[in-house]
Structure 1
Amino acid sequence: MYDTQNDRVWAINREEADKNGGVKQKQNFPERVMVWLGVCSKGVTPLVIFDEGTVNHQRYIDEVLPVAWEYANKMFGDQWMFQQGGAKPHTHRLTQQWCKQHFPSFIDKSRWPPNSPDLNPLDYFIWDEFVHQSNGIKSNQKRL
């Protein structure tokens, strides 16, 4: 990725800067990336990476739920339950319908009280661990 701190061109405006050797670089990577990851007692699902756009219910149904379904069936056969959070793509009626039709057991949005983070301790643990692992900090190292 281009680091703008390395080069300086003094100019009044962009045109003058370009004439004097100014460079306008395009970023190699998007500024933000969304990911989805499923977690269960036997491990984690493959990452689903959304590097462009937002995730609406249709993208969630098309790109995430089949990954969750395939992984869970591989790990547990037909003896598993799917639970998701309260994000809009999760609670959309078509998402709920898809889950009820495809998963052997599913905790739907009517059984998941709003604003209840205590019901899902993984929200605290897994994302904290993910951030620390992605920054190169092992879980057994002291965190400051």
Structure 2
Amino acid sequence: MVTMDTGFYIAEACGDADDTTVHYGKERHFANLQVIAVVGSDGQKCDLIFLEDGQRLNSFTYVEFLRRKVFPWARATYGESWWLQHDGASCHTSKFTQQFLRTEAPGFFPKEAWPPHSPDAAPMDYAIFGRLKSSL
């Protein structure tokens, strides 16, 4: 099983957890960092994928990340014996993405089989991203 998800991080919030400095002044717009993490059920992990500043994750960019980064890593790690699990984000459930997965993924859970709004079924939400955030 290969699970993946995206996470957003505010660059200003990364770093020294003991820094209690209060910043006053004009409203600031912090840089966001968007990361795609991919982890196998056996603990194997793909290198983090960082989206460029301002890059939006939509069905087309998501499929490109799958095609160029995720699938090559998963095939090198597990051969053709793996399933892709992701959440109900619109870029995951679009017709374009679902059609791509039907033809290219060795196995995946189609959107009809995925429980809506269920963090219990998304290991990235309840186990992985919390650890990633605490290490930044």
TM over 0.5: yes
Instruction: Give the number of equivalent residue pairs.
Output: 107
Q: State the SS of the aligned residue for 2:85.
A: coil
Q: Which has the larger radius of gyration?
A: 1
Higher relative contact order (CA 8 A, sep 6+): 2
- Partner Cα separation in structure 2 for residue 88 and residue 33 of structure 1: 20
- Partner Cα separation in structure 2 for residue 63 and residue 107 of structure 1: 18
Task: List gaps (5 residues or longer) in structure 1.
Answer: 6-26, 135-144
- Partner Cα separation in structure 2 for residue 64 and residue 33 of structure 1: 19
Per-residue CA deviation, residues 21-75 of structure 1 (Å, 9 max, x unaligned), is xxxxxx9xx7112110101114111222112231111111112443111111011
Contact kept? 2:120, 2:126, Cα under 8 Å = no
The normalised TM-score by structure 2 is 0.71
Contact kept? 1:79, 1:104, Cα under 8 Å = yes
Identity, % of aligned pairs? 27
Q: State the SS of the aligned residue for 1:38.
A: strand
- Partner Cα separation in structure 2 for residue 75 and residue 53 of structure 1: 28
User: What RMSD, in angstroms, separates the aligned Cα atoms of the two structures?
Assistant: 1.9
Q: Using the TM superposition, give the Cα deviation of residue 123 of structure 1 relative to its aligned residue in structure 2, in angstroms.
A: 1.6
Contact kept? 2:86, 2:122, Cα under 8 Å = no
